[in-house]
Amino acid sequence: MNKRASRKNGKMGGRPIPETDMKINLPNIEFVILTPKQYTILLKRYGATILEQAVNILENWLKTSPEGEKYRGKNNYAHFRSDGWLINSIN
């Protein structure tokens, strides 16, 4: 087995394990997890106002919805798709 191929680094069918210190800290946001790079990309794509609204909507959904429980503790970048429910609820 090649040392570069492992579940830890995303090879062989596994996803890379995100570092806990890579999580961006936002005020009053407990459950939404984004890396600094992802946050910067979203900020350029949507702007500060829309991104702030989207993060707050997602935070409330993760807190209150039983469906949101399975997304707690995971990276939430995929929720910010331009054709997804989160951005469409703002527009």
Q: What is the pLDDT along the chain (91 residues), one digit of tens a residue?
A: 455 555 555 555 555 555 555 788 888 899 999 999 999 999 999 999 999 999 999 999 999 999 988 998 889 999 999 888 999 998 7
* Total domain count, the chain: 1
Is 6 a domain residue?
no
E strand residue ranges, 1-91: none
What is the number of other CB atoms lying within 10 angstroms of the CB of residue 62?
23
pLDDT at residue 86 in the model: 93
Decide if 82 is inside a domain: yes
Q: What pTM did the predictor assign?
A: 0.74
Separation CA 73–CA 22 (nearest Å): 13
Q: Is residue 10 part of a domain?
A: no
Q: Which pLDDT value is given to residue 1? A: 47
Residue 59 CA to residue 77 CA, distance in Å, equals 13
Give the range of the structural domain holding residue 86, as residue numbers without chain letter.
21-90
